[in-house]
Amino acid sequence: MSGEHRSDVMAHPGDSGSRRAPRSLFLALLAVLAWLPLPLGSNRPWSWSLFEAAVFLLLAIWSFGLAVGGWQASRALRTIRWPLGLLAVWLVYQWLLTVPLPQELLQLIAAQTYAVIVSAEGAGVSVVPAIAIDIAAAEGLLLRNAAYLGLLLLVVSVVDSRRRLLLLVATLAGVGLAESLYGLAVYLSGNSFGFWQPNTTGHHVVTGTFVNRNHFGAHLGMTLALGLGLLTILPQGTAEHPGWRAGFRQTLHLLLAPGALLYAGALVMAAALILSHSRGAILAFVLGLGTAVVLSVLRARRVTRELRVGALLLVLASGALIWLGSGNLEGRFSDVGPQGSERLRVWGETLAMVRDRPLFGVGGGGYQWMYPSYKGQRLIDLYYDHAHNDYLEFAVDFGLIGLALILVPVAWLVSGMVSACLARRH
């Protein structure tokens, strides 16, 4: 393709005569990725339906190109074919939970679910005998998970050159910056306007265009990390002799170079992340940044560019705290509070749900229907349709078998990323 090097290291050896996915498909993929956070984090039926339709359409185009257009699968796709295969098995497993079963078999493999169905039928409610107690919700979640896997497949297949990779990273980081600017504007205006719907989370937190501050924080933690990745590959200037003076001069060079705009963007994103007050997102970002720095030092056995960028980020974060303050962030970390104590109690009750249905769970989306019977007579103000802990909720919905089917390929992919980080040359 014009402007893209066919000899790029991400291309498969010997594929110089093959056709890659066209630029138009790559740009369409970028558009989908840029759009996803905007409509309330694609966390409403109409918005996730658009997401599913877009991904499946792009998958159909890509599959047609592979079949009749002479396009070639990327090397990256071949490298991770086993984790992708396990994720596909996970989707099949979710579908099997929705298949109607003879009641005798259901009683044998899922006695608790069978008891719920018998109870419902005794009350005059017709229920399809399947492991998933809410087949419609399970099928909807299966469709979304298939779209997520399809998105991963498209990214690995279509982003097959260094140029495309940089454009992808820049796009995602740019969307994170736009979300941060919007979220801070709403925060500083006292929530006087909102995107798609009025802001209901209060003036004390930044949520961007997301429904939930934790969703916003998670998205921002990932996109801020990508922005820092861009900072680490900026031109480093002339070589310097080791020492603190050389490190100081290189740090000044980083701040005064054209990449200073990236640092300004990182400052804005760090401020928005802090003001989201999402403890999980902040801790996850700090852990991820620390892991990247440690891996970089282990690889180079010396002070690295990643370490300098990480130190600068700490300075930027301190600047963000001075600039906008931290709101009630200290209280969020220092005091669990009534809501935190309630959540811990919910987790304990969720573990009881897992113990009762350890193998197969209750099917996707079933948590909200089963939880009320486990909280007993205890009155709570919040309606818990989720466990607020993905691992526990996965175990409830899909059982320990389903949890393993998602954790094994994810661990496989993470292991591969760590190995690639230690072996990389750039």
What pLDDT does residue 197 have? 63
% pLDDT > 90, the chain? 32
Model pLDDT, residue 1: 42
Task: Calculate ∠ Cα 402-291-280, nearest 5°.
Answer: 60
pLDDT per position as a tens digit, 123-177: 776 778 888 888 999 999 999 999 999 999 999 999 988 899 999 999 999 999 9
Q: How confident is the model at residue 27 (pLDDT cuts 50, 70, 90)?
A: very high
End-to-end CA distance of the chain: 24
For 23-43, what is the mean pLDDT? 93
Per-residue model confidence (pLDDT) at position 9:
42
State the pTM of this model: 0.80
Amino acid 239: pLDDT = 47
- The pLDDT of residue 151 is 96
Nearest to 383 by CA among 344, 342, 351, 337: 342
pLDDT score of 5? 43
Window from 56-70, 77-91, 157-171, 277-291 with minimum mean pLDDT? 277-291
Q: What percent of the chain has pLDDT over 70?
A: 74
DSSP string of 280-324, one letter each residue: HHHHHHHHHHHHHHHHHHHHHSS--HHHHHHHHHHHHHHHHHHHH
Which of residues 336 and 20 earns the better pLDDT score?
A: 20
Residue listed under structure tokens 């969307």? 175
- Tokens found for residue 117: 């169905």
For residue 40, the SS3 value is: strand
Work out the burial of residue 13: count CB atoms within 10 Å of its CB; fewer than 13 is exposed, 13-18 middle, 19 or more buried. exposed
What local confidence, expressed as pLDDT, does residue 337 receive?
A: 53
- Strand partners of residue 210: 40
In the predicted model, is pLDDT for residue 414 greater than 80?
A: yes
Measured from the Cβ of residue 37, the count of other Cβ atoms closer than 10 Å reads: 23
| Least confidently predicted of 94-98, 351-355, 378-382 | 378-382
| Per-residue confidence (pLDDT) for residue 17, from 0 to 100 | 44
Mean pLDDT (the chain, rounded):
80
Contact present, 183 and 216 (Cβ < 8 Å): yes
Confidence of residue 298 (pLDDT cuts 50, 70, 90): confident
pLDDT at 321 over 70: no
Coil, helix or strand for 303? coil
Question: Dihedral sign, CA of 160, 164, 165, 168?
Answer: negative
Q: What are phi and psi for residue 364, nearest 5 degrees?
A: -60, 135
Give tens-digit pLDDT for 207-256.
Answer: 889 988 889 999 999 999 898 888 777 665 544 445 556 666 666 665 56
Give the count of alpha carbons within 13 A of 120, CB side only: 15
Beta bridge partners of 71: 19
In the structure, what pLDDT confidence band is assigned to residue 373 with cuts at 50, 70 and 90?
confident
Which tens digits make up the pLDDT trace of 252-296? 665 566 567 787 888 889 889 988 888 888 888 888 888 887 887
Distance, in Å, from the CA atom of 272 to the CA atom of 281, rounded to the nearest integer, reads 11
- Hey, what are 409's tokens? 């390929």
Residue 59 in this model has a pLDDT that exceeds 80: yes
pLDDT of residue 340: 59
| Contacts of 129 by beta carbon, 8 Å cutoff, 6+ apart | 100, 101, 102, 103, 106, 114, 117
Q: Which of 227, 216, 330 is nearest to 272 (CA)?
A: 216
